[in-house]
Structure 1
């Protein structure tokens, strides 16, 4: 079996192809379709209806982005600090990224807003570059966060987003993500209605996207890379519906790498799903045998990331690298606010 190297998943992308703003309306972005025989078609996203069949299951991630970016100051000196909430460990304790990191030493205290929220660093994770902090506040944490926090946009988006709802899917429901499950940003309520009217089952799972999802892999031997774990849930009803569809020979199409990771984390060797909740650190790269998925809707991803590796695993390495080359030549828009790809097997 081929030993995969980090450099295998690199491609060159001109900066001007990194989408800075979402297109309007949501479903008017471009859609590259890769058919099972390898044929590539170039469409508009709303045309996705034509590629879905009655009885198919379209699985979406209903996680909602929380205002996970907090700007505050050190309690003793008043100097600037930025927290990015990465993972909730219990009701008042979070793993966070901090900037500048050297200020957030163990035992130091920080305040946000007019003191409505305070934090103390309990532990420094040297390997991860994160901190474990305990928050102090009155009332409900989510309400305090809603007031003081900001939606964290990816670092490659340099422009201010006027309408923050454009960094949420129209079906986002369960708060918890530090970044949007971006493949779903292309759907409108009208498009989902059209898909349902065609007899496609629209089903929801939850995976709270952590910042580790976008973290570039740093080791040349990718098997040495360690994934961050992310919280997920799939209900018994959704698992049963997907199992039934598979029994009748229908397809399961995941919207986004996050939905894909939920399905593959919850499947047994025979591709049957069961209700589950917990943390997954599943790492999918070429050579992985998919148990559930027949199709994947996804955006164009950063080079050298686990997202790129997952897409290459599903679509076939040569086929996906060639598709990315074509996307660059045809000036598709890349990353969170960019265009989409539908891969069918």
Structure 2
């Protein structure tokens, strides 16, 4: 298995630059793994492909306005800071843009908030200590950290949040959930489909291509996730009743499979157990999914860990074939693009 096995050519015009309105007007590419049947629909028709008793698992994380700016103490040089993970009340892991932003360098955000580079990690990653809580500063001055392939301005920052976003902490949105509207959720519930929520705070490594020739040599990113006892019980009961557990997005899938791995390591007979903490699960072809029966997801970047995950779920050659069809049919790709339902 090589990283190049997960590459494909994507015309630039297929990369969605702006979200559609309304949210659920995006297209929906449906693939049945058992029969090979393909359907082309729209997301507002999702309930047509669901059954009473199905359980949709959604990631309720909320994106931080994590792109902030500071000045170097002394020289006044501008520094861009992209906050990735909170490591305590005043410590953050961040990407820092600017020259000579080395250990010990002090940064000024405002009259009230200063910062210091505590440690330099690989590349532009830094550990930063702030003089106080920066939550209020972010709310007032922070910008939404859109992926690097989106070049259009986002007039409404809430459009990069799901309608059910609740737990703040992500550096990127769980984009499969962006298609849901409150009315669509109600419509699906009326069919006898249930919803439950997990939390996984998405890191920007999600969008990074794998650079190693052998994907198994790639250092997977750690992300904080939580699956509550109530959600674990609902998943167990759904499985026992013979119904499907459907992950909305790769982040929900990653959380579910982390909980399944935790159950195995604990010697539990349950398919999942409650978890809270960092996960480093890395899902490549050959992996056997233990909790996820179906997956709603967007179209992913070439050579990314995400296309590798969906390839593990549906088969590499199948996924690449489906992607080629989607390109030919002018589906929209990546964060603001259209959706797939792999069942």
What TM-score, normalized by structure 2, do the two folds share?
A: 0.96
Aligned to 2:67: 69
Aligned to 1:307: 306
Aligned to 2:117: 121
The whole-number CA distance in structure 2 between the counterparts of 1:315 and 1:46 is: 24
| Cα separation, partners in 2 of 1:238 and 1:6, compared to 1, 3 Å | same
What TM-score, normalized by structure 1, do the two folds share?
A: 0.95
Q: Deviations over 1:275-325 (max 9, x none)?
A: 110000111011000001110000001101000100111111111110000
The whole-number CA distance in structure 2 between the counterparts of 1:128 and 1:253 is: 37
Please say which of residues 102-111 and 199-208 is displaced more in the overlay.
102-111
Q: CA deviation at 1:271?
A: 6.0
Is residue 130 from structure 1 mapped to residue 125 from structure 2 by the alignment?
A: yes
The whole-number CA distance in structure 1 between the counterparts of 2:123 and 2:293 is: 35
1:322-341 equivalence runs, <5 A: 322-341=321-340
Across the aligned residues of Structure 1 and Structure 2, the Cα RMSD in angstroms comes to 1.1
Q: Which of 134, 138, 158 is residue 151 of structure 2 equivalent to? A: 158
1:191-206 equivalence runs, <5 A: 191-206=184-199
**Are the equivalent residues in 2 in contact too, given 1:116–1:144 (CA < 8 A)?**
no
The whole-number CA distance in structure 1 between the counterparts of 2:47 and 2:101 is: 49
Aligned to 2:175: 182
Q: Deviations over 1:90-126 (max 9, x none)?
A: 11001110112x33101001112x333211001101x
**Are the equivalent residues in 1 in contact too, given 2:68–2:80 (CA < 8 A)?**
yes
Aligned to 2:5: 8
Residue 302 of structure 1 aligns to a residue in which SS?
Answer: coil
The whole-number CA distance in structure 2 between the counterparts of 1:198 and 1:141 is: 44
Is residue 22 from structure 1 mapped to residue 19 from structure 2 by the alignment?
A: yes
Residue 38 of structure 1 aligns to a residue in which SS?
Answer: coil
Q: Deviations over 1:199-252 (max 9, x none)?
A: 111000000001111111110111101111000011100000110010010000
Q: Deviations over 1:52-97 (max 9, x none)?
A: 1111110000000011101121111011100001111111001110
The whole-number CA distance in structure 2 between the counterparts of 1:115 and 1:285 is: 48
Q: CA deviation at 1:10?
A: 0.3
Residue 103 of structure 1 aligns to a residue in which SS?
Answer: coil
Please say which of residues 5-14 and 115-124 is displaced more in the overlay.
115-124
Q: Which of 20, 28, 32 is residue 29 of structure 2 equivalent to? A: 32
Q: CA deviation at 1:128?
A: 4.9
Structure 1 residues without counterparts, runs of 5 or longer: none
Aligned to 1:106: 103
The whole-number CA distance in structure 2 between the counterparts of 1:156 and 1:222 is: 22
The whole-number CA distance in structure 2 between the counterparts of 1:335 and 1:38 is: 23
The whole-number CA distance in structure 2 between the counterparts of 1:117 and 1:323 is: 50
Matched pairs, number: 336
Residue 231 of structure 1 aligns to a residue in which SS?
Answer: strand
Residue 341 of structure 1 aligns to a residue in which SS?
Answer: strand
Structure 2 residues without counterparts, runs of 5 or longer: none
Q: CA deviation at 1:129?
A: 3.4
**Are the equivalent residues in 2 in contact too, given 1:30–1:340 (CA < 8 A)?**
yes
